[in-house]
Amino acid sequence: MVNLTIDGKEITVSKTATIYEAAKEAGIDIPVLCYAKKLLPYGACRVCLVEVEQMKGRLIPSCTTPVTEGMVVTTMSDEIQKVRKTVLEFLLVNHVIDCPVCDKGGECDLQDLTYEYEVVTNRFEGEKFDLPTDEVNPLIERNMNRCVLCGKCVRVCDEIVGYGSYSFINRGFETKIATAFDRGLNCEFCGQCVSMCPVGAILPRPFKFKARPWQIKEVDSVCSYCGNGCTITMGVKDNKVQTIRFNDKIGVNDGNLCIRGRFGYSYANSDDRLTTPLIKKDGELVEASWDEALEAVAEGFKKAAADKGVGIISGARLTNEELFLLKNVAKAIGTENLDHSGGECYKGVTEGLVETLGVKASTGTFPQVEDADVILSIRSDFYETHPVFGMVVNQAVKRNEAQLFIVADKKGKFGKLPNAETLLHKPALEVNVLNAMAQALIEDGSAVTDGVDGLDELKKSLADYAPEKVAAATGVPAEQIKAAAKALAGANKSAILLAYGLPYTAQSKEIAVAAANLAILSGNVDKEGSNLYLCGEKANSQGAIDLGVIPAGSGQGAQQMLDAAAAGSLSALYVVGEDMVTSYPDREKVEKALDGAGFVVAQDLFLSPTAQKADVVLPAASFAEKDGTFTNAERRIQRVHPGITSPGEAKTDYAIFELLANKLGAGLSYTGPAAVFAALANEVDAYKGVEFNAIGAQGVVWGGEELKAATKKVVPVKGAAAVDGKFVLLTGSALYHSGTVSTHAKGPVAVVPEAYVEFGSEDATVLQVADGDMIKIKANGAEVQLKAKVDKRLPQGVVFAPYHFAEAGLNKLYKGEAAIAVEVSK
Amino acid sequence: MIKEFIQGLLITLKYLGPGHTTTVQYPRKGHRLQPSDRFRGLHRLVPDHDREKCVACYLCPTVCPAKCITVESAENEKGEKYPKVYKIDLLRCIFCGYCVEACPVEAIEMTGDYELANYHRDDFTFDKKRLVR
């Protein structure tokens, strides 16, 4: 710690602090333009100049100068005032004064400073900038005439996002921020540059001319897309979510967001939303009143329950309270057939981790990864499913020089980071590689074996997975496997990352077990700050597991329910917040199940392909209309707040479940989400003691920052065999989309409007495929047509297609395999 | 004393005669008064070539103490910001002139138009069509 005096105030701060940070801590305000909490000090704007007694004779930039013992700082004097005013005058020489039409007006740092320092005239004259603006792309609007060259966009894109879209070009007065070759933006469109820009040079285009900052009501909530649980602050006006506001003060994401979080909100405002209940009459869905619809649902379920039973399949984007009520609805119906998210993909947590570590969740929290020195990411898709967690990894690697290993069947964003090594294996062989790493540790004796159960069986089974053997089968060099294993075992703090979700159904449990084995053997489980992360694809995947929205007792899982319904041995299906036809593996089976079940109720925001097949459709509400809690992939329970009201007669799932339970005669009545949470906290051990209204801005992490493993049991797990075929199709998540709901959001759709099939550049040359060509893909007796996209990510013989799009019908081919041998033709 | 009295009365009588009267038979004779330049009557949105001068910056509805101005901004074909909707509810307006003062582009001013009475409530809502003159 260092002691110093700022404006006569004696303060003590950590020795890594800068003068600016020390002043801020002491509540002393120093103006800045180029400083941002999460970026490295830069010192571009010279607005933060202060006087330091020990460095007399010149003014010192406070944002780049570290504090020293006994420093005496003055933050305001006549000279400082004069110099700051001059700096502003310089900035305003070329800066166009179009505050009346600039959307930043009202929250612009330059405008505020100009006002504060009373820069009413300018002693300098110069030409105003007249640069062309970039309004080509649909999400990020760039007007470099308003730029003050603080470099925040350049730095955030490089330091945090790790993309590097921007750079300074030209020199002197002509310096400006530009992309490579000064072309349009073609990036991840995460909008981090938008949130960083202190002026109106980079703005969110969907929000263009929509409102002034002071007219907007800010509502903090949690993003409903992935399991990262980022805080998003909705800007609400006219009962619409107009934009997502920058907020780095609360939440787990430090103000970082991805395209889905920042630009994916618009599905809540969509005109395609369902606004009234629908009932199928003479083969057509017609509008009905809530009373009629609920009556029909209750009648149908009662009849079905008395017949062959009811199955309930839920999505993982409902709040904890809603999932709890759903369980009560299931009880009221009298069924144990309750499941979520296809019933298979989460088994890595509910079975894999339970069998090995005895826990049902990730063991650590996100910020801990930033301090890790070795990170192992299983699948390169981790960045695609959890981009903001990916940004934490970026920082660990780029700022703290962590070593990153990626076990993946394709290259990806992570692989481009410095210190990153991709263990590129043939598709579907993740387990083999992880097993080989475990074997390598056992072989060279560095494996942690104290207090580990099941070691003998594991050793026996791992005999088949000697790195050399696996190298031949998977294509990953044995040396690389050994080196990765060694680094992982030698790390002070390590992190193992794995995402699960609907497109990663295959070997869900096996991969998790293999990862847990490796975590145990490498000492990851024992070391403080070292953790194993299993991250759900949806906002409340963890909550669904915590609350036990999984088959219990004699209940059937989602896949069994679908099988049963298809075979006619289940009378009714209740599908809540899932578009099974689009996103579940094996569309044929899902459609058969929906046809086979005598009575289908769909509860959704949109008339999805699943809802179209339903007998009754209930219009539900989006996250922006809900009050409740989500539990993110690091076990953090966070509050969701409503910003707008539902369109038409749509109701929240909470309200629907309550009404339905009452129709079923269960008499379910709570005073609100707080009461429901209190009830569920009573039933779920992990949530005991957590109080709804006490959940603050940072949420509450159940189980503590580090969840202790209850057991340490290694379990033998079999790898897979490589898929034969000239071409192998992988499916997964695209960075710009999440689940199916983002296909209704303008932002993500503007960037990736339709399904595609991605080719590696080598294959593309051989097949003479170019971007945009229509490609026929045949497998499993079905054929789909997709537009081609050529990239450099994929190794030879591998093609990739994202699963989000209903029209594409990818799940006609994909039936739950890790990789599918396909025939590809033009 | 009587002399002074008569003198005074003569002045009074003189002003009763034609050419000297300041009383106007309003509105019977169709007189239109010419208020001072500083009079604050009905608002006017200043036109500019092919559009209104207003850039929909929202300063006037923000400063308006009576909250009688409604603005909705939008983007026109040229990519410029313009007021898609601009409405003043004269029933609420207190004619304080703050909107004129706040306007950064001198797009709104107050005219001498004072004959604002009307028969229907709706007629007191002045939209862009009636304000751009």
Question: Cα A17 from chain centroid?
Answer: 31
pLDDT of residue B33: 77
Q: Does B118 touch chain A (CB under 8 A)?
A: no
- Residue B31's pLDDT is 66
Q: Which residue has the tokens 């969110």?
A: A204
Residue A623 has pLDDT above 70, yes or no: yes
High-pLDDT (> 70) share of chain B, %: 98
Looking at the partner chain, which of A135, A209, A215 has a beta carbon nearest the beta carbon of B81? Answer: A209
Q: How far is B20 from chain A (nearest CA, A)?
A: 51
The CA distance from A422 to A480, in Å, is: 9
Taking 90 as the threshold, does the pLDDT of residue A666 lie above it? no
Q: How far is A301 from chain B (nearest CA, A)?
A: 49
Which of A101, A135, A215 has the CB atom closest to B81's CB atom? A101
Domain limits at B54?
Answer: 33-131
Instruction: Kindly report the nearest CA distance between residue B58 and chain A, in angstroms.
Output: 7
Asked whether A357 and A712 are in contact (CB, 8 A), the reply is: yes
User: Residue B75's closest chain A neighbor by CA?
Assistant: A209
Question: Which residues lie across from A798 on neighbouring strands?
Answer: A728
Contact A100 B80 (CB under 8 A): no
* Per-residue pLDDT tens digits for A40-67: 999 999 999 999 999 988 999 999 999 9
**Over A770-794, what HEC string results?**
CCCCEEEEEECCEEEEEEEEEECCC
Residue A221 has pLDDT above 70, yes or no: yes
Q: Burial code of B51-90, b = ≥16 C-beta within 10 A, e = fewer?
A: ebbbbbbbbbbbebeeebbebebebeeeeebbbeebbbee
Contact at CB, B57 and A105, closer than 8 angstroms: yes
> For A523-540, what is the mean pLDDT?
93
Judge whether residue A134 has pLDDT over 90.
no
| DSSP labels, A658-727 | HHHHHHTT-----SSHHHHHHHHHHH-GGGTT--GGG--TT-EETT-SSPPPS--B-------PPPPSSE
State whether residue B105 sits within 8 Å of chain A by CB: yes
Q: d(Cα A199, Cα A55) in Å, to the nearest integer?
A: 32
Compute the Cα dihedral for A640, A642, A647, A648 and give only its sign.
Answer: positive
Contact B57 A99 (CB under 8 A): yes
Q: Distances from the Cα of A431 to the Cαs of A367, A437, A470, A519, A800, in angstroms?
A: 27, 10, 10, 14, 20
Asked if residue B102 belongs to a domain, the reply is yes
Rounded to 5 degrees, φ, ψ at B132 are -80, 110
Contact A215 B58 (CB under 8 A): yes
Using DSSP bridges, classify how beta strands A9-13 and A2-6 pair: parallel, antiparallel or unpaired: antiparallel
Q: Which pLDDT does position A205 carry in this prediction?
A: 93
Query: How far does A147 lie from chain B, in Å, by closest CA?
Result: 19
Distance between CA A344 and CA A358 in Å, rounded?
Answer: 19
B62 in contact with chain A, both atoms CB, cutoff 8 A: yes
* DSSP β-ladder status, A798-802 and A756-760: antiparallel
Would residue B15 count as lying in a domain? no
Question: Residue B28: inside a domain, yes or no?
Answer: no
Chain B residues 5-34 with a CB less than 8 Å from chain A: none
CA angle A461, A466, A467 (to 5 degrees): 140
Question: How far is CA A307 from each of CA A138, A245, A665, B55, rounded to the nearest angstrom?
Answer: 53, 51, 19, 66
Of A659, A617, A753, A649, the closest CA to residue A281 belongs to: A617
Give the CATH number for residue B97: 3.30.70.3270
Question: Do A579 and A316 form a contact (C-beta atoms < 8 A)?
Answer: no
3-state secondary structure of A160: helix
Nearest to A217 by CA among A503, A800, A733, A641: A641
Q: Is B85 on the interface with A (CB under 8 A)?
A: no
Asked whether the beta carbons of residue A100 and residue B74 sit closer than 8 angstroms, the reply is no
Instruction: Tell me the average pLDDT of chain A.
Output: 93
Q: Name residue A313's beta-bridge partners.
A: A339, A575
With cut-offs at 50, 70 and 90, classify the pLDDT of residue B1.
confident
**Chain A residues with beta carbon closer than 8 angstroms to that of B62:** 212, 214
Q: Are A497 and A382 in contact (CB under 8 A)?
A: yes
Closest Cα in chain A, distance from residue B89 (Å): 19
A285-293 — which CB contacts under 8 Å span 24+ positions?
Answer: A285/A607, A285/A612, A285/A614, A285/A617, A290/A649, A290/A651, A290/A659, A293/A616, A293/A618
Domains of chain A: 2-76 (3.10.20.740), 128-269 (3.30.70.20), 278-341+542-701 (3.40.50.740), 346-536 (3.40.228.10), 727-825 (2.40.40.20)
Give residue for tokens 């509400």: A621
pLDDT at residue A137 is higher than 90: no
Chain B contact set for A209 (CB, 8 A): 56, 73-75, 81
* Smallest Cα distance from A215 to chain B, Å: 9
Averaged pLDDT, A801-813:
93
Nearest to B57 among A101, A135, A210 (CB): A101
Query: A101 and B80: CB-CB below 8 Å?
Result: yes
Residues in chain A with CB shorter than 8 Å from the CB of B55 are 100-101
Contact A100 B59 (CB under 8 A): yes
pLDDT value of residue B14:
87
In a domain? residue B52: yes
Q: What is the pLDDT confidence band of residue B24, given thresholds at 50, 70 and 90?
A: confident
The answer to the question of residue B39 being in a domain is yes
Q: Quote the longest CA-to-CA distance of chain B.
A: 81
pLDDT higher than 80, residue A492: yes
- What's residue B30's pLDDT? 66
Question: Is B111 part of any domain?
Answer: yes
Cα dihedral sign, A299-A302-A306-A309: positive
DSSP string, A215-228: GPEEEEEE-SSSTT
ipTM (interface pTM): 0.83
Q: What's the pLDDT tens digit per position in A321-363?
A: 999 999 999 999 999 999 999 998 999 999 999 999 999 999 9
Q: Which of B59, B62, B74 lies closest to A209 in CB terms?
A: B74
The DSSP code sequence of A604-629 is ESS--HHHHT-SEEEE---GGG--EE
Report d(CA A83, CA A96) in Å as an integer.
22
Nearest CA in chain A to B83: A209
In a domain, B98, yes or no: yes
Global pTM value:
0.92
Residue of A nearest to B55 (CA): A101
Lowest mean pLDDT among A315-319, A667-671, A793-797: A667-671
Nearest CA in chain B to A100: B57
**How many residue pairs from chains A and B have C-beta atoms closer than 8 A?**
28
Return phi, psi of residue A405, to 5°: -115, 140
Task: List chain A residues with CB under 8 Å of B75.
Answer: 208-209
In a domain, residue B3? The reply is: no
Distance CA A744, CA A750 (A): 10
Tell me what percent of the residues of chain A surpass a pLDDT of 70: 100
CA distance B4 to A306: 116
Helix, strand, coil percentages, rounded to 5, for chain A: 35, 20, 45
How far is residue A501 from each of residues A142, A415, A444, A549, A614, measured CA to CA in Å?
Answer: 36, 22, 35, 16, 25
Contact A100 B75 (CB under 8 A): no
Model pLDDT for residues B29-78, shown as the tens digit of each residue: 666 778 898 999 999 999 998 899 999 999 999 999 999 999 999 999 98
- Determine, for residues B81 and A99 on separate chains, whether the beta-carbon distance falls below 8 Å: no
Helices and strands per DSSP (H, E), number in chain B: 4, 7
Whether the CB of B75 is below 8 Å from some CB of chain A: the reply is yes
Count of the separate structural domains present in chain B: 1
β partners of residue A134: A142
Residue A550 has pLDDT above 90, yes or no: yes
Contact A541, A632 (CB under 8 A): no
3 state SS of A338: strand
What is the residue whose two structure tokens read 């263009």?
Answer: A208
